[in-house]
């Protein structure tokens, strides 16, 4: 779905009206590109391995949480994802940009 200029102008007008009315609007929460917290199945573990994986990450200096039902790793920020992937799992993003985990050997 692509947004038209009218949609963008309406969204902006609603935001300005809310600010004038004294309502604080968190644009990050409503932004379509909001990624955090992010759940990753690829960086996750089997649900039975969650306590062991949390302890292993803690020993390497990265606090991590997992989805209790799926075992997906939960990242709070881009830096958190980078630290966990590089320091704990040796994972990398093949489509890495600035601040993303770099694949080992690259």
pLDDT tens by residue, 61-99: 999 999 999 999 999 988 999 999 888 888 888 777 777
Beta carbons of 36 and 75 less than 8 angstroms apart: yes
Any idea what DSSP says for residue 37?
S
pTM for the full predicted model: 0.63
Sign of CA dihedral 40, 42, 43, 48: positive
Please list the residues that pair with 65 across neighbouring strands.
74
Strand order, beta sheet including 38-40: 38-40, 73-75, 65-66
pLDDT tens by residue, 47-66: 999 999 999 999 999 999 99
């Amino acid at each position: 779905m692509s947004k038209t200029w009218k949609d963008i102008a309406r969204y902006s007008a609603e935001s300005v009206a809310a600010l004038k009315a004294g309502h604080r609007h968190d644009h990050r929460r409503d932004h379509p590109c909001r990624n955090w917290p992010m759940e990753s199945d690829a960086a996750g573990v089997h649900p039975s391995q969650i306590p062991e994986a949390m302890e292993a990450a803690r020993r390497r200096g990265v606090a991590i949480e997992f989805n209790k039902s799926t075992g997906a790793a939960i990242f709070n920020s881009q830096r958190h994802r980078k630290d966990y992937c590089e320091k704990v799992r040796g994972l990398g993003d093949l489509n890495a940009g600035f601040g993303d985990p770099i694949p080992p050997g690259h």
